[in-house]
Amino acid sequence: MDRALQILINAAALYVAVLIVPNLEFTGEWWKLLLVAAIFGVVNTFVRPILRIFTLPITIMTLGLFLLVINALMLLLTGVISNELNLGLTVGDFLAALLGSIVISIVGMLLSTVIGSSRMAGRFL
């Protein structure tokens, strides 16, 4: 049940980011957004920790600000996978990914707090 709640929170956060951030677009049905949210969760679960380990020196030197770049890269990767599977998420450029990842982090944190989820949506922060 916790995984399903995480996917719903990720989907809502992605939807808000698509509404707010220019060059971040979603064209598809609602169930495709749920699939994109699931892919986003898988990318954050498996790829992000590996990338964080490899970029640890840079992250330390930038006092953690490089984590924003890692979050943007995870959103870009989700966009690439979504395009390959024709799910409808398009991330226009790196700036859109960076702003989108910030919006997704904030909305995911707020929704997780309000709903009372035991884990952050997509473990983004």
Judged against a pLDDT cut of 60, whether residue 114 lies above it is answered with yes
What string of DSSP letters covers 70-111? Answer: HHHHHHHHHHHHHHHTT--EEE-SHHHHHHHHHHHHHHHHHH
Domain of 83?
A: 2-123
Chain segment 55-101, per-residue pLDDT in tens: 999 999 999 999 999 999 999 999 999 999 999 999 999 999 999 99
pLDDT band of residue 121 (cuts 50, 70, 90) is very low
For the question of whether the overall pTM of this predicted structure is more than 0.95, the answer is: no
Give residue 28's pLDDT.
Answer: 86
Domain count, the chain: 1
Judged against a pLDDT cut of 50, whether residue 16 lies above it is answered with yes
Quote the CA–CA distance of 34 and 12 in Å, as a whole number.
Answer: 9
Grouping H, G, I as helix, E, B as strand and the rest as coil, residue 58 is: helix
Chain segment 36-45, per-residue pLDDT in tens: 999 999 999 9
